[in-house]
Amino acid sequence: MKLSKKEEELMEHLWSLEKGFMKDILDAYPEPKPATTTIATLLKRMADKGFVSYTTYGNSREYYPLKAKAEYFSTHVNGLIKSFFNNSASQFASFFTRETNLSEKELEELKNIIDQEIQKKKK
């Protein structure tokens, strides 16, 4: 399941906070801050989608993410590879390395990461 841009923005704040009450979440936003009702609506939608939950303390709710950031973006990247690159990670890697204007140093870092992963697979 996918989040809207506004929901992703809210998730970014929750991932940073790890957990927080409405005031904490609103404080994480830059000015101009969204309305409390807007955040409440987004949180309700995200809870319905299974991305957020909360613990109730009296009349207050402390919200926390149910999905880790890496898990969420891994799902997105895998969907992107499937949809736009014929489910081919090498086509994606080729596009990514050619079209993102990476420096030589960044390409070397990527090569090292790939080499390390290859070594892990051999074991």
Q: What is the pLDDT, as a whole number, of residue 77? A: 86
The dihedral region occupied by 4, where left means phi > 0, alpha psi between -120 and 50, and beta the remainder, is beta
* pLDDT per residue as tens digits for the range 25-65: 999 999 999 999 999 999 999 999 999 999 999 999 999 99
Of residues 33 and 98, which shows the higher confidence score?
33
How many other β-carbons are positioned within 10 Å of the β-carbon of residue 43?
Answer: 21
What percentage of the chain reaches a pLDDT higher than 70? Answer: 100
Contact predicate 119/111, CB 8 Å: no
Contact predicate 18/38, CB 8 Å: no
Peptide bond into 32 cis (omega under 30): yes
Contact predicate 13/25, CB 8 Å: yes
Q: What is the pLDDT, as a whole number, of residue 47? A: 96
Q: What is the pLDDT, as a whole number, of residue 87? A: 87
Determine the Cα–Cα distance for residues 9 and 55; give it in Å rounded to an integer.
21
Least reliable range by pLDDT among 7-11, 33-37, 38-42, 111-115? 111-115
Of residues 97 and 49, which shows the higher confidence score?
49
The mean pLDDT of the chain is 92
Has this prediction a pTM greater than 0.95? Answer: no
Topology of domain 5-65, CATH = Arc Repressor Mutant, subunit A (1.10.10)
